[in-house]
Amino acid sequence: MQNLLVADLRLFTEGTPQDRSRFIETLGQAFHDIGFVIIQNHAVPPDLQAALYEKVEAFFRLPDEVKARYVVPGTAGQRGYTPKNLEHAKDRAVPDLKEFFHVGPEITDPTDPLYHRLPKNVWPTEVPGFKEVVQAAYEKFFQTGQALLRAIALYLDLEEDYFDSRIRNGPSLLRLLHYYPLPPDQPIPEGATRAAEHEDINLITLLIGASAEGLEVLTRQGSWLSPRVAPNEMVVNVGDMLERLTNNYLRSTTHRVVLPPPEKRHLPRFSVPFFLHPRPEVSLACLPSCITPSRPKAYPDITAEAFLEERLRELGLKA
């Protein structure tokens, strides 16, 4: 495989029935074969992407003691700032060489139980316009993710709106991510990298172009693929929750972010993934249509909330 499959979301959102069918098949094939796809014509426009990266870089330029004001205790890193070297991949003891800032949904409906249950966002006042730009990006990422899940629902022979109520006001996260620069004279802990081999927790992850190379995807043949992504394209991948829901029919594929060559390690890397999560009460029990004699049920039933808490403990973010 030379590159990931590329799919034009506009075929699904604005196309003919034939266009929609073609998009659904391409997306489903990609998610089944490797769990990754490149999406064109998503809902996050170029000017908003540029503004978002401007705010991201401005926040991470702040002194560590200022960023530390936005650590939100008791949330297992699900809101606000998580300092350097705290998160590690599952089954690894060495932390990733990164720091990040999480933003969740702004729930405005007080009748929704999640209005009181989910932690509130915090907004850095030192970066003018941060809240407005990040909130706008969050909504556009969610809009794109909802459209992709509608296509996947049809691919799985479900109702098109199957996921709509299940993701409304769910704890989806926009992660503002900084792989900090490494001075040439700074020793790197043995085995440390920017993001060690891992699979994502959620339903799907949406990623707009990072500021430097480094993403690698593990193919079925056991080799590492470096996707070629054009400006304004988006990489989307299946998370463990969707893999579990589909009884391993759609693949949550191992991926990583490797260190650049030594001559480039003094340069930072910024990245903005959006982790689309279901509501906490949603069941991740395998879909009956995905259980067959050749693919027996692989997982016990569990809720999205219980699964998320289990994984946060494995990542070292929750006791």
The predicted-structure confidence for 273-309, as pLDDT tens digits, reads as follows 999 999 999 999 999 999 999 999 999 999 999 999 9
- Is residue 221 pLDDT above 60, yes or no? yes
**Beta-bridge mates of residue 167:** none
pLDDT at 2: 64
Pick from 52, 80, 23, 8: which is nearest to 140 by CA?
A: 52
Backbone phi, psi, residue 72, to 5°? -110, 100
- Token couple for 215: 């993403």
pLDDT of residue 93: 75
What pLDDT does residue 220 have? 87
- What sign does the dihedral 277-279-282-288 (CA atoms) show? negative
> What residue ranges define each of the domains in the chain, with the CATH number in brackets?
6-314 (2.60.120.330)
Band (pLDDT 50/70/90 cuts) for residue 10 is very high
- Say if residue 263's pLDDT is above 90: no
Question: Dihedral of the CA atoms 62, 65, 67, 69 (nearest 10)?
Answer: -140
139 falls in which pLDDT band (50, 70, 90)?
very high
pLDDT on residue 1? 47
Global pTM value: 0.94
Could you read off the pLDDT of 178-188 as tens digits, one per residue?
A: 999 888 777 78
Residue 196 has pLDDT above 50, yes or no: yes
Contact (Cβ atoms closer than 8 angstroms) between residue 107 and residue 114: yes
Residue 134 has pLDDT above 90, yes or no: yes
- Average pLDDT, whole number, for the chain? 93
What distances in angstroms separate CA 3 from CA 34, 187, 216, 242, one per listed residue?
Answer: 11, 34, 11, 23
